[in-house]
Structure 1
Amino acid sequence: MLVITRKKGESLLIGDNIEITIVKLDDGSVKLAIDAPKEMRILRKELYNEVKAENQKSIEFNLDVLKGIKK
């Protein structure tokens, strides 16, 4: 994991086409601006984890339903 220090208005680059800029600093939070190609999916990790958990529940439910079907 890379740990980097940036100040308001400073940026960092990921590859050739993703730029993350520090827009605002508040007590305990940072506002970021992300410039990336439109086809690149950008999600907050907590949202990604929620969706992943819901998908797993759905898979488990569907497997239980299938197990209950008799041939």
Structure 2
Amino acid sequence: MLILSRKKNESIMIGEQIEVKILAIEGEQVKLGIIAPKTVIVHRSEVFEAIQQQNKEALTMTPGVLEQLKKRK
């Protein structure tokens, strides 16, 4: 893990196209701005983990699901 110190209005670059800027520091909360190409998907980690879990659950077929899908045709 790379650890960097930044002050308000300072930023870091990830590669050549992604910039993470410190917008505000209020108590224990830090507000970040992320400038990235539209092709780069950005999520909070808890949202990302929930998406991953839903995707994993969607891949798990319960008995009878395949049969129900066949009947829909």
Give yes or no for TM over 0.5. Answer: yes
Are 1:39 and 2:36 counterparts? no
2: CA distance, partners of 1:3 / 1:66: 50
1: CA distance, partners of 2:35 / 2:25: 18
1: CA distance, partners of 2:44 / 2:10: 21
Aligned residues: 67
* Backbone CA RMSD of aligned residues: 1.9
* Aligned ranges 1:26-65 → 2 under 5 Å: 26-60=26-60, 62=61, 64-65=62-63
Structure 1 runs of 4+ off > 3 angstroms?
A: 66-69
1: CA distance, partners of 2:17 / 2:50: 28
2: CA distance, partners of 1:30 / 1:67: 45
Gaps of 5+ in 2: 68-73
Shift of 1:68: 8.5
2: CA distance, partners of 1:56 / 1:18: 28
Q: Normalising by the residue count of structure 1, what TM-score does the alignment of the two structures yield?
A: 0.81
Shift of 1:66: 5.3
The percent identity for this pair of structures is 33
Q: Normalising by the residue count of structure 2, what TM-score does the alignment of the two structures yield?
A: 0.79
Change over 3 Å in CA distance of 1:68–1:33 after alignment to 2 = closer
Gaps of 5+ in 1: none
